[in-house]
Structure 1
Amino acid sequence: MELQINDQAVQADVDAGMPLLWVLRDVLNMTGTKFGCGVAACGACTVRVDGQAVRSCVVPVSAVQGKRIQTIEALGTLEKPHALQLAWIAEQVPQCGYCQSGMLMAAAALLEKTPRPTDADIDEAMTNICRCGTYQRVRLAIKRAAGTTRKTKA
Protein backbone atom coordinates (compact mmCIF):
# COMPACT_ATOMS: atom_id res chain seq x y z
CA MET A 1 0.00 0.00 0.00
CA GLU A 2 1.08 3.56 -0.63
CA LEU A 3 1.36 5.99 2.29
CA GLN A 4 2.13 9.71 2.36
CA ILE A 5 4.75 10.05 5.11
CA ASN A 6 6.66 13.27 5.69
CA ASP A 7 5.64 14.61 2.27
CA GLN A 8 6.88 11.54 0.42
CA ALA A 9 5.03 8.64 -1.16
CA VAL A 10 6.18 5.46 0.57
CA GLN A 11 5.37 1.86 -0.33
CA ALA A 12 4.74 -0.64 2.47
CA ASP A 13 3.91 -4.28 1.85
CA VAL A 14 1.96 -4.87 5.06
CA ASP A 15 -1.33 -6.25 6.30
CA ALA A 16 -4.02 -3.53 6.30
CA GLY A 17 -4.71 -4.17 9.98
CA MET A 18 -1.11 -3.63 11.13
CA PRO A 19 -0.89 -0.65 13.51
CA LEU A 20 0.73 2.40 11.95
CA LEU A 21 3.33 2.44 14.73
CA TRP A 22 4.75 -0.92 13.66
CA VAL A 23 4.69 0.03 9.98
CA LEU A 24 6.74 3.11 10.83
CA ARG A 25 9.17 1.42 13.20
CA ASP A 26 9.55 -2.14 11.95
CA VAL A 27 8.86 -1.87 8.24
CA LEU A 28 10.07 1.64 7.37
CA ASN A 29 12.77 1.89 10.06
CA MET A 30 11.48 5.27 11.28
CA THR A 31 12.26 4.76 14.95
CA GLY A 32 11.64 8.28 16.25
CA THR A 33 8.05 7.31 17.02
CA LYS A 34 8.14 5.27 20.24
CA PHE A 35 6.15 2.35 21.62
CA GLY A 36 4.91 3.01 25.12
CA CYS A 37 1.74 1.23 26.17
CA GLY A 38 0.08 -0.20 23.06
CA VAL A 39 -3.39 0.99 24.14
CA ALA A 40 -3.28 4.71 23.19
CA ALA A 41 -2.95 5.82 26.80
CA CYS A 42 0.58 7.22 27.05
CA GLY A 43 1.10 9.11 23.79
CA ALA A 44 4.70 8.06 23.13
CA CYS A 45 3.57 6.91 19.68
CA THR A 46 1.88 10.18 18.69
CA VAL A 47 2.21 11.24 15.06
CA ARG A 48 0.19 13.74 13.05
CA VAL A 49 -2.35 12.56 10.50
CA ASP A 50 -3.76 15.37 8.38
CA GLY A 51 -2.53 17.71 11.10
CA GLN A 52 -4.25 15.92 13.99
CA ALA A 53 -2.38 14.23 16.84
CA VAL A 54 -3.00 10.48 16.55
CA ARG A 55 -1.85 7.59 18.74
CA SER A 56 -0.30 5.37 16.10
CA CYS A 57 -0.22 2.20 18.22
CA VAL A 58 -3.97 1.65 17.76
CA VAL A 59 -4.53 3.01 14.25
CA PRO A 60 -4.59 0.37 11.52
CA VAL A 61 -2.43 1.45 8.60
CA SER A 62 -5.43 1.10 6.28
CA ALA A 63 -7.12 3.98 8.15
CA VAL A 64 -4.39 6.43 7.14
CA GLN A 65 -4.00 5.46 3.50
CA GLY A 66 -4.37 8.61 1.40
CA LYS A 67 -3.80 10.90 4.40
CA ARG A 68 -0.79 13.06 5.23
CA ILE A 69 1.28 11.42 7.97
CA GLN A 70 3.98 13.41 9.75
CA THR A 71 6.45 11.81 12.14
CA ILE A 72 9.02 13.40 14.43
CA GLU A 73 11.63 12.85 11.72
CA ALA A 74 10.01 15.66 9.69
CA LEU A 75 9.21 18.15 12.45
CA GLY A 76 12.48 20.03 12.01
CA THR A 77 16.09 19.55 10.99
CA LEU A 78 19.43 20.20 12.62
CA GLU A 79 19.86 23.15 10.27
CA LYS A 80 16.31 24.46 10.76
CA PRO A 81 14.72 23.16 13.98
CA HIS A 82 11.02 23.64 14.59
CA ALA A 83 10.13 26.39 17.07
CA LEU A 84 8.92 23.70 19.48
CA GLN A 85 12.25 21.89 19.35
CA LEU A 86 14.08 25.13 20.16
CA ALA A 87 11.65 25.84 22.99
CA TRP A 88 12.03 22.28 24.33
CA ILE A 89 15.78 22.84 24.58
CA ALA A 90 15.46 26.34 26.05
CA GLU A 91 13.05 25.17 28.76
CA GLN A 92 15.08 22.01 29.40
CA VAL A 93 12.04 19.79 28.89
CA PRO A 94 13.70 16.44 28.10
CA GLN A 95 15.00 14.32 30.92
CA CYS A 96 14.94 10.67 29.91
CA GLY A 97 13.57 11.77 26.52
CA TYR A 98 11.45 8.72 25.77
CA CYS A 99 8.11 10.52 25.54
CA GLN A 100 9.47 13.59 23.79
CA SER A 101 8.73 12.72 20.17
CA GLY A 102 5.08 12.06 21.01
CA MET A 103 4.90 15.21 23.15
CA LEU A 104 6.38 17.32 20.36
CA MET A 105 3.97 15.93 17.77
CA ALA A 106 0.98 16.57 20.05
CA ALA A 107 2.23 20.10 20.74
CA ALA A 108 2.73 20.74 17.01
CA ALA A 109 -0.86 19.69 16.33
CA LEU A 110 -2.04 21.99 19.13
CA LEU A 111 -0.14 25.01 17.79
CA GLU A 112 -1.37 24.40 14.26
CA LYS A 113 -4.97 24.44 15.51
CA THR A 114 -4.50 27.03 18.29
CA PRO A 115 -1.49 29.27 17.61
CA ARG A 116 -1.79 31.13 20.95
CA PRO A 117 -2.98 28.45 23.39
CA THR A 118 -4.16 29.14 26.90
CA ASP A 119 -3.29 26.91 29.85
CA ALA A 120 -6.68 25.24 29.39
CA ASP A 121 -5.96 24.59 25.69
CA ILE A 122 -2.61 23.02 26.59
CA ASP A 123 -4.17 20.89 29.33
CA GLU A 124 -6.83 19.62 26.93
CA ALA A 125 -4.43 18.83 24.09
CA MET A 126 -1.44 17.48 26.00
CA THR A 127 -2.64 14.17 27.38
CA ASN A 128 0.69 12.44 26.86
CA ILE A 129 2.27 10.81 29.89
CA CYS A 130 5.78 11.78 31.01
CA ARG A 131 7.29 9.56 33.69
CA CYS A 132 9.84 12.26 34.47
CA GLY A 133 7.04 14.73 35.27
CA THR A 134 8.17 17.63 33.09
CA TYR A 135 4.62 18.89 32.52
CA GLN A 136 5.31 22.46 33.70
CA ARG A 137 8.32 22.68 31.40
CA VAL A 138 6.21 21.34 28.53
CA ARG A 139 3.64 24.10 29.17
CA LEU A 140 6.39 26.75 29.23
CA ALA A 141 7.94 25.39 26.04
CA ILE A 142 4.62 25.41 24.20
CA LYS A 143 4.00 28.99 25.28
CA ARG A 144 7.55 29.95 24.28
CA ALA A 145 7.09 28.41 20.83
CA ALA A 146 3.76 30.22 20.51
CA GLY A 147 5.42 33.48 21.52
CA THR A 148 3.15 33.91 24.52
CA THR A 149 5.78 33.94 27.26
CA ARG A 150 8.85 35.97 28.05
CA LYS A 151 11.98 34.32 26.80
CA THR A 152 14.02 34.25 30.02
CA LYS A 153 16.40 31.40 29.21
CA ALA A 154 18.98 31.17 26.46
Structure 2
Amino acid sequence: MNYLKLLLILLLPTYHSITAQNTETDSLITKLNNLTKEDSVKVNLLNKIAFKTYISDINKAVGYLNEAKKLSKKINYTKGIVNNIRTEALIESYKGEFLIAVELLYKALNIAEKNKYNYLIANIYNDLGVINIKLDNIEKAKLFLNRSLKTY
Protein backbone atom coordinates (compact mmCIF):
# COMPACT_ATOMS: atom_id res chain seq x y z
CA MET A 1 0.00 0.00 0.00
CA ASN A 2 2.85 2.41 0.82
CA TYR A 3 4.36 1.74 -2.60
CA LEU A 4 1.07 2.68 -4.24
CA LYS A 5 0.98 5.95 -2.29
CA LEU A 6 4.57 6.68 -3.30
CA LEU A 7 3.77 5.98 -6.92
CA LEU A 8 0.73 8.25 -6.84
CA ILE A 9 2.71 11.07 -5.25
CA LEU A 10 5.38 10.78 -7.93
CA LEU A 11 2.93 10.56 -10.80
CA LEU A 12 0.54 13.32 -9.74
CA PRO A 13 2.77 16.14 -11.02
CA THR A 14 2.72 14.60 -14.49
CA TYR A 15 -1.08 14.81 -14.69
CA HIS A 16 -2.19 17.62 -17.00
CA SER A 17 -5.53 19.27 -17.43
CA ILE A 18 -6.06 19.72 -21.17
CA THR A 19 -7.81 23.07 -20.85
CA ALA A 20 -5.24 24.51 -18.48
CA GLN A 21 -2.47 23.10 -20.64
CA ASN A 22 -3.74 24.85 -23.77
CA THR A 23 -4.10 28.19 -21.98
CA GLU A 24 -0.66 27.87 -20.45
CA THR A 25 0.88 26.78 -23.76
CA ASP A 26 -0.68 29.73 -25.57
CA SER A 27 0.73 32.04 -22.92
CA LEU A 28 4.19 30.49 -23.28
CA ILE A 29 4.07 30.83 -27.07
CA THR A 30 3.12 34.50 -26.71
CA LYS A 31 6.11 35.02 -24.40
CA LEU A 32 8.35 33.18 -26.87
CA ASN A 33 7.19 35.35 -29.76
CA ASN A 34 8.02 38.49 -27.76
CA LEU A 35 11.61 37.44 -27.06
CA THR A 36 14.35 39.11 -29.05
CA LYS A 37 17.46 37.57 -27.47
CA GLU A 38 18.75 34.09 -28.11
CA ASP A 39 19.55 33.07 -24.55
CA SER A 40 18.71 30.55 -21.83
CA VAL A 41 15.29 32.16 -21.30
CA LYS A 42 14.37 31.30 -24.89
CA VAL A 43 15.75 27.76 -24.55
CA ASN A 44 13.74 27.21 -21.36
CA LEU A 45 10.54 28.43 -23.03
CA LEU A 46 11.11 26.24 -26.09
CA ASN A 47 11.74 23.18 -23.91
CA LYS A 48 8.73 23.95 -21.72
CA ILE A 49 6.43 24.37 -24.73
CA ALA A 50 7.70 21.07 -26.15
CA PHE A 51 7.01 19.38 -22.81
CA LYS A 52 3.51 20.86 -22.59
CA THR A 53 2.56 19.89 -26.16
CA TYR A 54 4.08 16.46 -26.78
CA ILE A 55 0.93 14.56 -25.82
CA SER A 56 -1.40 16.68 -27.93
CA ASP A 57 0.92 17.32 -30.91
CA ILE A 58 4.17 15.37 -31.12
CA ASN A 59 5.27 17.00 -34.38
CA LYS A 60 4.89 20.49 -32.97
CA ALA A 61 6.72 19.44 -29.80
CA VAL A 62 9.61 18.00 -31.83
CA GLY A 63 9.87 21.28 -33.73
CA TYR A 64 10.22 23.22 -30.48
CA LEU A 65 12.69 20.63 -29.18
CA ASN A 66 14.87 20.89 -32.26
CA GLU A 67 14.96 24.67 -31.99
CA ALA A 68 15.83 24.44 -28.28
CA LYS A 69 18.55 21.87 -28.94
CA LYS A 70 20.16 24.00 -31.63
CA LEU A 71 20.11 27.13 -29.47
CA SER A 72 21.31 25.27 -26.34
CA LYS A 73 24.36 24.04 -28.22
CA LYS A 74 24.96 27.46 -29.78
CA ILE A 75 25.03 29.23 -26.40
CA ASN A 76 26.51 26.22 -24.56
CA TYR A 77 23.58 25.98 -22.14
CA THR A 78 24.04 22.59 -20.47
CA LYS A 79 20.87 22.66 -18.37
CA GLY A 80 18.88 23.34 -21.54
CA ILE A 81 20.52 20.37 -23.22
CA VAL A 82 19.61 18.08 -20.29
CA ASN A 83 15.98 19.27 -20.30
CA ASN A 84 15.90 18.83 -24.06
CA ILE A 85 17.16 15.25 -23.95
CA ARG A 86 14.76 14.44 -21.10
CA THR A 87 11.77 15.75 -23.04
CA GLU A 88 12.91 13.84 -26.12
CA ALA A 89 12.99 10.70 -23.96
CA LEU A 90 9.46 11.36 -22.70
CA ILE A 91 8.27 11.67 -26.29
CA GLU A 92 9.92 8.34 -27.17
CA SER A 93 8.29 6.76 -24.13
CA TYR A 94 4.91 8.16 -25.13
CA LYS A 95 5.39 6.59 -28.59
CA GLY A 96 6.14 3.25 -26.89
CA GLU A 97 9.86 3.36 -27.69
CA PHE A 98 10.88 2.60 -24.12
CA LEU A 99 14.41 1.38 -24.82
CA ILE A 100 15.23 4.53 -26.79
CA ALA A 101 13.72 6.57 -23.97
CA VAL A 102 15.87 4.81 -21.37
CA GLU A 103 19.00 5.37 -23.46
CA LEU A 104 18.20 9.08 -23.76
CA LEU A 105 17.46 9.37 -20.04
CA TYR A 106 20.82 7.81 -19.16
CA LYS A 107 22.48 10.33 -21.47
CA ALA A 108 20.64 13.19 -19.75
CA LEU A 109 21.42 11.72 -16.32
CA ASN A 110 25.13 11.56 -17.11
CA ILE A 111 25.22 15.26 -18.02
CA ALA A 112 23.01 16.24 -15.07
CA GLU A 113 25.22 14.35 -12.60
CA LYS A 114 28.40 15.93 -13.96
CA ASN A 115 26.84 19.36 -13.43
CA LYS A 116 25.13 18.52 -10.12
CA TYR A 117 21.65 19.45 -11.36
CA ASN A 118 19.94 17.64 -8.47
CA TYR A 119 16.39 18.63 -9.40
CA LEU A 120 16.88 17.30 -12.93
CA ILE A 121 18.59 14.18 -11.58
CA ALA A 122 15.56 13.49 -9.37
CA ASN A 123 13.19 14.02 -12.31
CA ILE A 124 15.22 11.70 -14.53
CA TYR A 125 15.24 8.98 -11.85
CA ASN A 126 11.47 9.39 -11.62
CA ASP A 127 11.15 9.07 -15.40
CA LEU A 128 13.30 5.92 -15.35
CA GLY A 129 11.09 4.52 -12.59
CA VAL A 130 7.91 5.16 -14.55
CA ILE A 131 9.33 3.61 -17.72
CA ASN A 132 10.45 0.54 -15.80
CA ILE A 133 6.92 0.18 -14.44
CA LYS A 134 5.69 0.23 -18.05
CA LEU A 135 8.29 -2.44 -18.87
CA ASP A 136 7.08 -4.47 -15.86
CA ASN A 137 10.49 -4.19 -14.17
CA ILE A 138 8.99 -3.42 -10.77
CA GLU A 139 12.13 -3.93 -8.67
CA LYS A 140 14.17 -1.70 -10.95
CA ALA A 141 11.34 0.85 -10.91
CA LYS A 142 11.37 0.89 -7.09
CA LEU A 143 15.11 1.49 -7.15
CA PHE A 144 14.79 4.52 -9.44
CA LEU A 145 11.75 5.92 -7.63
CA ASN A 146 13.56 5.66 -4.29
CA ARG A 147 16.62 7.38 -5.77
CA SER A 148 14.33 10.11 -7.03
CA LEU A 149 12.87 10.66 -3.57
CA LYS A 150 16.30 10.73 -1.94
CA THR A 151 17.57 13.23 -4.50
CA TYR A 152 14.65 15.62 -4.04
TM-score by length of 1: 0.34
- Higher relative CO (CA 8 A, sep ≥ 6), structure 1 or 2? 1
- In terms of fraction of residues, the more strand-rich structure is 1
TM-score by length of 2: 0.35
